[in-house]
Amino acid sequence: MSQRRVVLGDSDDTSRNKIKVLIKQLGYFVVGEAGDGITALKLIRSREPELAVLDTSLPGMDGLQIAEIAWQDRLTPVVLLTPYIDPTVLEKARAARGAALLQKPVDENSLLPAMELARSNFEELCKLEGKIKELKETLETRKVVERAKGILMETLGLNEAEAFKRIQKQSMNKRVSMRAVADAVIMAHNLK
């Protein structure tokens, strides 16, 4: 396993140092440490780690708030550490979209699987979101091309195949996408 980059946030220096040693033993590389939430968030944004391990009770901005921001901005998955787990803490971690919630003190038997699964699930999520975006763009392009074909069929008296070929030929001649040609046809039609 290549060394993956981690930002570590814990207000307790002793606890943070123990977790840092454990993270290094697990083959990860700590690229930033923070004793407060604002510094932890800044490190996550600037160092772009593959993972963050944060205490839920960081001063300034707690780990739950950072986890929510990291989720919304798709920065990195966050493994949350807490001194105790009860239904309230669990619900807050779920709402903040924490990738995992572990009770302190942590050991390698709990930390390694949580970190690996968090990272793996986050990467899969990002890939799926990319595919969804690509599919939405493809669908939108098809709608625009269909609309442009309809305009060409109506205004020039072409059949569907001829209208499509005309858009396709313009696309090749101008070296632009069919979407760009279709948008131009629609815009020209709307200007009339």
Task: Give pLDDT tens digits for 64-102.
Answer: 999 999 999 999 999 999 998 989 999 999 999 999 999
**pTM listed for this prediction:** 0.75
| 150 has a pLDDT exceeding 70 | yes
pLDDT band at 8 (very low <50, low <70, confident <90, very high): very high
Q: Which residues contact 84 (CB under 8 A, 6 or more apart)?
A: 103
pLDDT band at 62 (very low <50, low <70, confident <90, very high): very high
For tokens 């396993």, name the residue.
1
Say how far apart CA 36 and CA 61 lie, in whole Å.
Answer: 7
* H/E run at residue 68: helix 63-72
The stretch 155-182 carries a mean pLDDT of 92
The mean of the pLDDT values for the chain is: 92
Say how far apart CA 13 and CA 152 lie, in whole Å.
Answer: 70
Return the DSSP state at 113.
H
53, 115 contact by CB (below 8 A):
yes
| 192 has a pLDDT exceeding 80 | no
* H/E run at residue 33: strand 28-34
What is the model's pLDDT at position 1? 46
Say how far apart CA 184 and CA 96 lie, in whole Å.
Answer: 44
What is the model's pLDDT at position 190? 86
| Percent over 70 (pLDDT), the chain | 99
pLDDT band at 2 (very low <50, low <70, confident <90, very high): low
Which parts of the chain are beta strand (E)? 4-9, 28-34, 51-55, 78-82, 100-103
What is the model's pLDDT at position 3? 75
| Percent over 90 (pLDDT), the chain | 85
CA dihedral 104, 108, 111, 112 (to 10 degrees): 180
Say how far apart CA 160 and CA 63 lie, in whole Å.
Answer: 57
